[in-house]
Structure 1
Amino acid sequence: MMKKIKLTRANKSITLKALAPYYYQQRALGHGTQEVGKLILKIDSLPADKRATFSTEEIRLMRITINRLRNERLGKGQYTDAADDMLLKLF
């Protein structure tokens, strides 16, 4: 299943900030990083404020990593509106 999502500049930024640590963590553990790497490149190359189509697996990966980033920021008492906004778009 595919889903179209509009990525604003803020949502692109928060998604890339969430995916990058996951990519490096998986790489350090010796796990495959090809799918995450492709998703990072796809999001980075998209123009802001345009709708893009993402697969179920890509959306699942974004949800997991953005939620992880959100929870980490909440644990530190930091601002999470951008992460919350992006998570709402994914659900």
Structure 2
Amino acid sequence: MMRKIKLTRANKSILLKALAPYYYKQRALRRSTGFVEKLILKINALPADKKTNFSPDEIRLMRTTVNQLRNERLAKGQYTDAVDDMLLKLF
């Protein structure tokens, strides 16, 4: 079931920062990256503050990668409020 999510500019930036390492890791392992590529292009092309439909698989991938970014920042003692806000949108 598709779900509409509204992304701000900050949230788009966070998602792209979270998805990039996952994309490059999959590419380095010579795994298929088509799904991730399409999601990155979809997010990049979205106008800010407009609701867009995302599939459960897309939401699951976004949630996983944003959570990894959050955990990395926490481990380094960095500020995570913006990332936490993004995670709340995905739940």
Give TM class, smaller chain.
Answer: over 0.9
Counterpart of 2:85 in structure 1 is 85
Aligned CA-pair RMSD: 0.4
Cα separation, 1, equivalents of 2:50 and 2:36: 21
Counterpart of 1:10 in structure 2 is 10
List 4+ stretches of structure 1 deviating above 2 A. none
Give, as a single letter, the amino acid of the residue that structure 2 aligns with 1:56. Answer: P
Pair 1:20-2:17 in alignment: no
* SS of alignment partner, residue 31 of structure 2: coil
User: Identity over the aligned pairs, expressed in percent?
Assistant: 77
Provide the TM-score with structure 1 as the length reference.
0.98
- Count matched residues: 91
Provide the TM-score with structure 2 as the length reference.
0.98
Pair 1:52-2:52 in alignment: yes
Cα separation, 1, equivalents of 2:6 and 2:70: 20
Unmatched segments (≥5 aa) in structure 1: none
Give, as a single letter, the amino acid of the residue that structure 1 aligns with 2:70. Answer: R
Give, as a single letter, the amino acid of the residue that structure 2 aligns with 1:15. Answer: L
Pair 1:63-2:83 in alignment: no
Cα separation, 2, equivalents of 1:82 and 1:37: 24
* SS of alignment partner, residue 32 of structure 2: coil
Pair 1:29-2:29 in alignment: yes
* SS of alignment partner, residue 78 of structure 1: coil
Unmatched segments (≥5 aa) in structure 2: none
